[in-house]
Amino acid sequence: MVLRRIHSFEARDRAFSEDEVLQENVILHAIKRPARQGPVAVSTSVGPEDPCPTLREVDLARIVKPGDPERFIHIPADALSEAIVQRMDRFKVSLANLDLEVSTGRVVDFRAAKFLRAEPGPKTVPLVYPGHIVQGFVQWPRNGGKKPNALLLSRETEDLLVPRGFYVLVKRFSSKEEPRRIVAGVYDPARLPAADVAFENHLNYFHARGRPLPEDLAKGLAAFLNSTLVDCHFRDWSGHTQVNASDLRRLAYPTRVQLEVLGSLISDTFPGQDELDRRLEEDLLQMTTLRKSPDPVRARKRLQEALGILKDLGLPREQQNERSALTLLALGDVKPRTPWSQASSPLCGITPMMEFFAEHYGKVYAPNTRETVRRLTVHQFVQAGLAILNPDKPSRPTNSPHAVYQIEEKALALLKTYGTKEWDGCLREYLTAVETLRFRYAQEREMQRIPLTLPTGARITLSPGGQNVLIQMTSRSSAPASRPAPSLFTSGMPPTSRRTATSKDSRPSASPSTLTRSCRTWLCTTRKRAGLSSSRQSPATVPSARSATRS
């Protein structure tokens, strides 16, 4: 079989939304007959109706690794995924080589219900649930929670216990939409005064073939598993929302010495995520050979931060997507290594935006999606007051190849406070003023529109530039000097248009399609009267339905 194309959907709730089913969906195209295996086209979209899919070609060896006995299929959807694979390939050590094992927690709570206790007491041992993992360590007990904190000691529960010592725990379940898929924590025996401990079945735990781990090894292993790099890698190749013990066995790890060095840098508290990722990059990865590719860790973080900003700004759900996040980053010229405080406001067209997506964030959209990006994303930014169209020349047509956009001044000032203590206050001030801003910019856009009056008295306005300027000029050149203002000639309008394009005050308003037909007929007539060519006009000279709106 020769693999030709793979398409995956990022959202689980779109393909079968009518049935309210969450389902991972991948479409494969392959040829059964013998043929030469060439590059595989890999495309992704949010859902079946997404008009802006990403598209790239990769070698089959990046999808099914040579020598993999299980022949797992990896889908490198973009350059970021490819860069993550390159970094993870630098780790060559298996769990068995580290002389470690991973097992599932032994306590299945509904089977051991009569031995569970809400609070610790005499003849009980600590019972650890996923909820006890907080900021890299096990915090026990958790008072007021829904889960029990202890397991009664008895002959029936002896086989459910593990001896006192250091262990690394990993949550088994998460949802695809959660910020992290892999969440690890260290069980530190010094924090729990007990000779034995029990781990609930929704946890995986790492051990040294039944024995506890050395402290530095445990902390280093937990730090590695909690890194953004590992989390991104796991998301890219794992098609389900569980983190099974078999998945953790399949991962490649740093050497034992590297893990112990990393763990020796961690004291009683885990470092923040940025610091943890920095240590992983400096101590475990030799990044000098990978500088040419996009930085996948920082890029993924910036994308998540941009999505959070769009959500805080209250944009509709349809605009809370990766494409909108990339647009916000491009408008602010925020690259993966650029702090938000250094955001700027360059003039940027649609094509340069898409080049920015590809160069800095590894997202290459299909070549024919330029207009879709403008219509479904950038246009909404303008309507929301986040961006300004053609601030250098407001009269420039929207569909001009030279059209540019710029982030609004107050929105830029807000972005520069992201991640600081001033963010919440500045966000409230911005949201209070945003309606006034939208109204002001809408007025400025309206002032640039071209007014025309239909013979029935109905008034319309056309977007500036392009064929609409020609319509106004032709109308003025063909009208007698005594006329007070240009208007459409009745003789060129079909009967249906006379009935539909009527006065705003007395009769039904004209539909966009009717106005378009009227303008086409009128344009031919007025050009003849003005002594211009009488040849039939191409559709390109007729104003679009979107550009002709009533004042």
> Cβ–Cβ contacts within 10 Å for residue 108, how many?
13
Give pLDDT, residue 536. 42
In a domain, 154, yes or no: yes
Phi, psi of 176 (to 5 degrees): -60, -30
Task: Judge residue 472's burial from the number of C-beta atoms within 10 Å of its C-beta, 0-12 exposed, 13-18 middle, 19 or more buried.
Answer: middle
Q: Using CA atoms, how far apart are residues 216 and 186, in angstroms rounded to an integer? A: 11
DSSP-based three-state secondary structure for 387: strand
Instruction: Using the 3D structure, point to which of 220, 252, 285 is the last residue of a domain.
Output: 285
338, 206: one domain = no
Q: Using CA atoms, how far apart are residues 516 and 526, in angstroms rounded to an integer? A: 15
Instruction: Using the 3D structure, point to which of 258, 285, 312 is the last residue of a domain.
Output: 285
In a domain, 498, yes or no: yes
Q: Using CA atoms, how far apart are residues 497 and 519, in angstroms rounded to an integer? A: 10
Q: Which two tokens stand for residue 287?
A: 């990044």
267, 303: one domain = no
Instruction: Using the 3D structure, point to which of 77, 109, 124 is the last residue of a domain.
Output: 77
Contact predicate 325/306, CB 8 Å: yes
Q: Which two tokens stand for residue 383?
A: 């309507």
Domain span including residue 544: 450-550
Q: Using CA atoms, how far apart are residues 50 and 318, in angstroms rounded to an integer? A: 11
233, 177: one domain = yes
> Cβ–Cβ contacts within 10 Å for residue 330, how many?
25
Amino acid at the residue 126: P
Nearest residue to 375 via CA among 407, 403, 344: 403
In a domain, 264, yes or no: yes
DSSP-based three-state secondary structure for 546: coil
Q: Which residues pair with 7 in a beta bridge?
A: 27, 43
420, 456: one domain = no
DSSP-based three-state secondary structure for 501: coil
In a domain, 82, yes or no: no
In a domain, 94, yes or no: no
216, 237: one domain = yes
Give pLDDT, residue 525. 53
Q: Is 165 left (phi over 0), alpha (psi -120 to 50) or beta?
A: left
In the numeric block, the tokens 């679009």 are attached to 544
DSSP characters for 440-468? HHHHHHHHTSEEEE-TTS-EEEE-SSHHH
Q: What is the CA radius of gyration of the chain?
A: 31
Q: Using CA atoms, how far apart are residues 104 and 170, in angstroms rounded to an integer? A: 9
36, 51: one domain = yes
In the numeric block, the tokens 């705003």 are attached to 504
422, 471: one domain = no
Task: Judge residue 132's burial from the number of C-beta atoms within 10 Å of its C-beta, 0-12 exposed, 13-18 middle, 19 or more buried.
Answer: buried
Q: What angle (nearest 5°) sits at the alpha carbon of residue 533, between those of residues 530 and 535?
A: 130
Give pLDDT, residue 286. 63
66, 151: one domain = no
How many domains are there within the chain? 4
Give pLDDT, residue 176. 56
Show Cβ contacts of residue 355 under 8 Å, excluding neighbours closer than 6 positions: none
- Provide the pairing of β-strand 40-45 with 2-9: parallel
Angle at which helix 228-237 crosses helix 79-88, to 10 degrees, equals 110
In a domain, 92, yes or no: no
Give pLDDT, residue 16. 74
Query: Residue 270: which CATH number?
Result: 3.90.220.20
Q: What is the mean pLDDT of each run of 10 residues along the chain (551 residues)?
A: 88 74 82 86 85 86 82 82 87 94 96 94 94 94 89 94 96 74 94 92 96 97 95 80 89 94 92 90 66 78 94 85 94 95 96 93 84 88 90 85 93 95 92 65 55 72 61 55 49 42 40 50 51 44 38 33
In a domain, 204, yes or no: yes
DSSP characters for 64-93? S-TT-TT-------SHHHHHHHHHHTT--B
146, 269: one domain = yes
Nearest residue to 199 via CA among 155, 168, 223, 220: 168
Give pLDDT, residue 517. 53
In a domain, 83, yes or no: no
DSSP-based three-state secondary structure for 198: strand
What is the pTM for the complete model shown?
0.70
Give pLDDT, residue 304. 92
Give pLDDT, residue 540. 40
441, 457: one domain = no
68, 206: one domain = no
470, 355: one domain = no
